């Protein structure tokens, strides 16, 4: 059963639980997908490696919101700076994304940002790619342990 990270919050609608095939299909159909990569993904080698592959696999734009020495996770930008741009549909990296995937940020940050986008940008498809279910997204993986989560990312990479 998908449980929200924080049971005290009131949501008027909840994210659809989606597994790799659905998310793959959403990303394949997107014109301008954008990956937003947070600190948890950066600090976990396996998570980071799979996300870097996903960015390439789906020819997506990417923003890394965490301190990171590498250059394979896109441009570095603070999460709130990025969220402010997305909220008003301003260009990010020169384009206006139609699908945004949040992965690796703290669960509360993911939730706050996606909820703000749910109101400000109902047109934007919002996906949470994290080991915890995030009700504020349009599509979210269910809560699962880390091994299952990494397997789900592997699944997503499949053609």
Partner 1 sequence: MARFKLDFEGIKIEIGSVESFEPEGEGPHPCPSLSDLKDWDRRLFSRYRIAAFPVCDMCCLCTFGRCNLAEGRRGACGIDLRANVARMTTIKTCIGAACHTSHARHLIEYILENVGDVEIDLGPEIDVKMPIFETLLGFEPETISDLEKGLEYIERELTKILASAHMGQESDPHDYESKALHAGMLDNLALELADVAQIVAFDMPKGESPLVEFGPFAADDSKPCILLIGHNVAPGTEVLDYLEERGLDEEVEVLGICCTAWDASRVEKRAKVIGPLSRQLHYVRMGIADVIILDEQCVRADIVEEAKEVGSRVITTRDVLMGGLRDVTDEPADKIVEKMASGEWMAVYIEDLEKAAKVAVEVALRVHEERKKEVPRPDPDEIKGHAERCLECGDCERVCPNDLPIVEAMRKAREGDLEDLAELFYRCVGCARCESECPARIPVMRIIEDAWRLNVRRERYKVRTGRGPIKDVEIRQVGGPIVMGDIPGVVAFVACPNYPDDIREIGRMVEELLERNYIVLTSGCTAMALGYYTDEEGRTLYEKYEDRFDAGCLVNTGSCISNAHILGACIKIAAIFAKKPLKGNFKEIADYIINRIGACGVLWGAMSQKALAISTGFTRWGIPIVYGPAGLNYQTLYIGDLDGDWTVYDARTGEKREEHCPIHLKYAAEDWREALVQAVKLCIRPNDTPQGRQTKLQNYVELYKKFYNELPPDLPLYVRDENDIPLTLKDEIMEYLEEVGWEPREPISEPTLLEENARG
* Residue 42 near residue 48, CB atoms below 8 Å: yes
106 binds partner 1 (CB under 8 A): yes
Per-residue x/- mask for partner 1, residues 8 to 47, rule CB under 8 A? Answer: -xxxxx------------------------xx--------
Provide the Cα torsion 47, 6, 124, 44; round to 10°: -10
Check residue 119 for interaction with partner 1 (CB under 8 A): yes
Q: By CB under 8 A, is residue 95 in contact with partner 1?
A: no
Number of amino acids touching partner 1 (CB under 8 A): 44
Query: CA-to-CA distance for 144 and 116, rounded, in angstroms?
Result: 25
**Site membership for partner 1, residue 66 (CB under 8 A):** yes
Of 60, 83, 101, 141, the one binding partner 1 (CB under 8 A) is 83
Torsion of CA 64, 4, 47, 145, to 10 degrees: 170
3-class DSSP assignment, residue 100? strand
Q: Which residues are 35's β-sheet partners?
A: 62, 101
Please identify, using beta-carbon distances, which residue of 33 and 38 lies nearer to partner 1: 38
What tokens does 96 get?
């206006």
109 binds partner 1 (CB under 8 A): yes
Give the position of tokens 């749910």. Answer: 118
Q: Contact positions toward partner 1, by CB under 8 A?
A: 3, 5-7, 9-13, 38-39, 65-71, 75-76, 78-81, 83-84, 87-88, 90, 105-109, 112-113, 115-116, 118-120, 122, 132, 143
């Amino acid at each position: 059963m998908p449980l929200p990270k924080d049971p005290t919050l009131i949501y008027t609608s909840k994210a659809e639980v989606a597994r790799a095939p659905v998310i793959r299909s959403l990303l394949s159909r997107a014109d301008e997908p954008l990956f937003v990569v947070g600190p948890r993904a950066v600090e976990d080698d396996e998570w980071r490696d799979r996300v870097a592959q996903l960015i390439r696999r789906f020819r997506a734009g990417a923003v890394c919101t965490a301190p990171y020495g590498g250059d394979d996770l896109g441009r570095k930008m603070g999460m709130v700076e990025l969220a402010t741009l997305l909220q008003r549909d301003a260009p990010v990296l020169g384009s206006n994304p139609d699908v945004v995937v949040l992965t690796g940020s703290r669960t509360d940050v993911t939730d706050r940002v996606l909820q703000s986008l749910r109101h400000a940008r109902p047109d934007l498809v919002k996906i949470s790619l994290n080991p915890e279910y995030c009700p504020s997204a349009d599509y979210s993986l269910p809560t699962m342990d880390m091994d299952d989560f990494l397997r789900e990312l592997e699944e997503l990479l499949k053609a």
